[in-house]
């Protein structure tokens, strides 16, 4: 059923209250205007840990909540409503998924409690070019002594500028374009030869380009199986894509709500502009699209909870639909607000900027629509 259960509704209510109070849109403006290097508020991250959010996907026997992907998605959706900047996606969803499913006992003992406590930020480094293409990974991890030597560059690593460690995809065999020969490594950012260049991003958040210049790691750094890491990478990316889809759904809902409020108060020719039928038709269409996206996202999160390895199609449907709808909501919001919608005086432009980044990250609408089409034999 595409509805939240009682516990999930309670989590949603708590998350909405928390981000509204602790992380309103004004907090993002502060990060942007003060050029905060981390791209997020460390104090807010610790407060999220106190709420238990950082452990939402960490098993209970490792100190987490084990609340599942639907619970994580509920949090992402509410953060999308206030443009909350945090390492929740990279760390509490993607890194926690990788370590919980495939981390060694030592990796779990070292990092999962740190994630739950809000004391660690772990980024995921996959793409090497301008477009999302996991199978196109060319970065090499050559065998060296009792470990590996990593060489290459990762282009856009979310939270890479503030990470304590990086989950990096590299080739231990095969060549770019093949899904075989993948291995995942957990590399601490203090490791010699690893450097980060902070990127200036459209959405005023944190990302970096990472360069691995002969970075040497032991075999203990491997997460999962050597040469057979692509299935695990797809699960980790699925968690990130679903989280982004949920955030985009929240972004679209908030853009819609703010636009409806404006239509009810803005007057033209002696009446509120929401009384004009042309705008009513557009608003009704947008409302329907927002609800469809919301349902697609919930279906994807439920699919991940049921079978993470078999949820890729549902996740791609959700990411494609949420990206398209968030774009439509942002465009309609700007247009219905008129000229002021293009200025920094109101927040709508910030929602559009975040939409642009989140919809492209880990595959845009076209990337995921193509995946669905190929899966269906078109």
Helical axes 365-375 vs 312-337, angle rounded to 10°: 150
Asked whether the predicted pLDDT for residue 376 surpasses 90, the reply is no
Which residue from 182, 170, 163 is spatially nearest to 216, judged by alpha carbons? 170
Q: Is 137 left (phi over 0), alpha (psi -120 to 50) or beta?
A: beta
The Cα 251–Cα 325 span in angstroms is: 10
Prediction pTM value:
0.96
Q: What is the DSSP string of 294-332?
A: HHHHHHHHHHHHH-GGG-HHHHHHHHHHHHHHHHHHHHH
Lookup: tokens for 53:
């959010």
The Cα 358–Cα 366 span in angstroms is: 14
Reported confidence tier of residue 153, pLDDT bands at 50, 70, 90: very high
Asked whether the predicted pLDDT for residue 2 surpasses 90, the reply is no
Reported confidence tier of residue 342, pLDDT bands at 50, 70, 90: confident
In contact, 186 and 169? CB cutoff 8 Å: no
CATH code of the domain occupying 6-120: 1.10.540.10
In contact, 83 and 125? CB cutoff 8 Å: no
175-220 tens-digit pLDDT:
999 999 999 999 999 999 999 999 999 999 999 999 999 999 999 9
Place of tokens 């459209």: 202
The pLDDT score that the predictor gives to residue 35 is 94
In contact, 311 and 70? CB cutoff 8 Å: no
The Cα 301–Cα 304 span in angstroms is: 5
Centre a 10 Å sphere on the Cβ of residue 306 and count the other Cβ atoms it contains.
12
The Cα 179–Cα 92 span in angstroms is: 26
| Dihedral angle over CA of 78, 4, 356, 312, nearest 10 | 140
Q: What is the DSSP string of 192-243?
A: TTEEEEEPP-TTS--EEEEEEEEEEEEGGGEES-TTB-HHHHHHHHHHHHHH
Asked whether the predicted pLDDT for residue 246 surpasses 80, the reply is yes
The pLDDT score that the predictor gives to residue 62 is 87
Longest dimension (CA), the chain: 79
261-295 tens-digit pLDDT:
999 998 888 899 888 999 999 999 999 999 999 99
* % of the chain surpassing 90 pLDDT: 92
45-97 tens-digit pLDDT:
999 999 999 999 999 988 899 999 999 999 999 999 999 999 999 999 999 99
Output DSSP code: residue 90.
Answer: I
Find the mean pLDDT for residues 233-238. 98
The Cα 134–Cα 240 span in angstroms is: 13
Asked whether the predicted pLDDT for residue 1 surpasses 80, the reply is no
Q: What is the DSSP string of 52-77?
A: TGGGTTS-GGGTS---HHHHHHHHHH
The Cα 42–Cα 131 span in angstroms is: 30
The pLDDT score that the predictor gives to residue 250 is 98
Return the bridge partners of 65, or none: none
Query: 222-223 and 207-218: which strand pairing?
Result: unpaired
The Cα 188–Cα 25 span in angstroms is: 32
Asked whether the predicted pLDDT for residue 32 surpasses 90, the reply is yes
CATH (one of 2.60.40.1180, 1.20.58.410, 3.40.50.150, 1.20.140.10) for 230-376: 1.20.140.10
3-class DSSP state of 159: coil
Which residue from 85, 319, 122, 120 is spatially nearest to 201, judged by alpha carbons? 85
* % of the chain surpassing 70 pLDDT: 100
Lookup: tokens for 206:
């944190």
Which fold, 124-225?
Butyryl-CoA Dehydrogenase, subunit A; domain 2 (2.40.110)
The pLDDT score that the predictor gives to residue 340 is 87
Asked whether the predicted pLDDT for residue 377 surpasses 90, the reply is no
Which residue from 145, 138, 223 is spatially nearest to 181, judged by alpha carbons? 138
Domain boundaries, the chain: 6-120, 124-225, 230-376
The pLDDT score that the predictor gives to residue 185 is 98
Lookup: tokens for 37:
């290097």
Lookup: tokens for 145:
């002594």
95-139 tens-digit pLDDT:
999 999 999 999 999 999 999 999 999 999 999 999 999 999 999
142: part of which helix (H) or strand (E)?
Answer: strand 140-144
The pLDDT score that the predictor gives to residue 237 is 98
Asked whether the predicted pLDDT for residue 296 surpasses 80, the reply is yes
């Amino acid at each position: 059923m595409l509805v939240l259960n009682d516990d999930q509704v309670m989590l949603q209510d708590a998350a909405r209250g928390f981000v509204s109070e602790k992380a309103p849109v004004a907090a993002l403006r502060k990060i942007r205007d003060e050029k905060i290097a981390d791209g997020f508020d460390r104090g807010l991250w610790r407060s999220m840990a106190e709420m238990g959010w950082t452990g939402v996907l960490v098993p209970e026997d490792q100190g987490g909540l084990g609340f599942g992907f639907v619970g994580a998605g509920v949090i992402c959706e509410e953060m999308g409503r206030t443009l909350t900047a945090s390492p929740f996606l990279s760390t509490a969803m993607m890194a926690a998924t990788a370590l919980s499913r495939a981390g060694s006992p030592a990796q779990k003992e070292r990092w999962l409690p740190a994630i739950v406590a809000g004391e660690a930020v772990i980024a995921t480094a996959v793409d090497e070019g301008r477009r999302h293409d996991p199978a196109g990974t060319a970065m090499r991890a050559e065998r060296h002594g009792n470990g590996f030597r990593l060489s290459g560059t990762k282009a856009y690593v979310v939270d890479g500028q503030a990470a304590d460690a990086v989950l990096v995809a590299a080739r231990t065999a095969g060549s770019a374009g093949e899904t075989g020969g993948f291995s995942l490594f957990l590399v601490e950012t203090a490791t010699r030869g690893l450097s980060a260049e902070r990127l200036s991003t459209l959405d005023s958040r944190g990302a970096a380009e990472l360069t691995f210049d002969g970075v040497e790691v032991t075999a203990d750094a491997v997460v999962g199986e050597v040469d057979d890491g692509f299935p695990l990478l797809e699960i980790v990316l699925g968690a990130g894509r679903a989280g982004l889809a949920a955030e985009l759904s929240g972004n679209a809902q908030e853009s819609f709500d703010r636009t409806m409020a404006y239509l009810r108060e803005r007057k033209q020719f002696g009446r509120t502009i929401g009384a004009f039928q042309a705008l009513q038709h557009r608003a009704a269409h947008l409302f329907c699209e927002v609800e469809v996206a919301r349902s697609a996202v919930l279906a994807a999160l439920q699919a991940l909870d049921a079978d993470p390895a078999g949820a890729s199609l549902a996740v791609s449907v959700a990411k494609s639909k949420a990206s398209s709808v968030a774009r439509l909501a942002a465009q309609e919001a700007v247009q219905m607000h008129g000229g002021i919608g293009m200025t920094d005086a109101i927040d709508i432009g910030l929602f559009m900027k975040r939409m642009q980044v989140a919809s492209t990250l880990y595959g845009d609408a076209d990337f995921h629509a193509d995946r669905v089409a190929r899966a269906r034999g078109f």
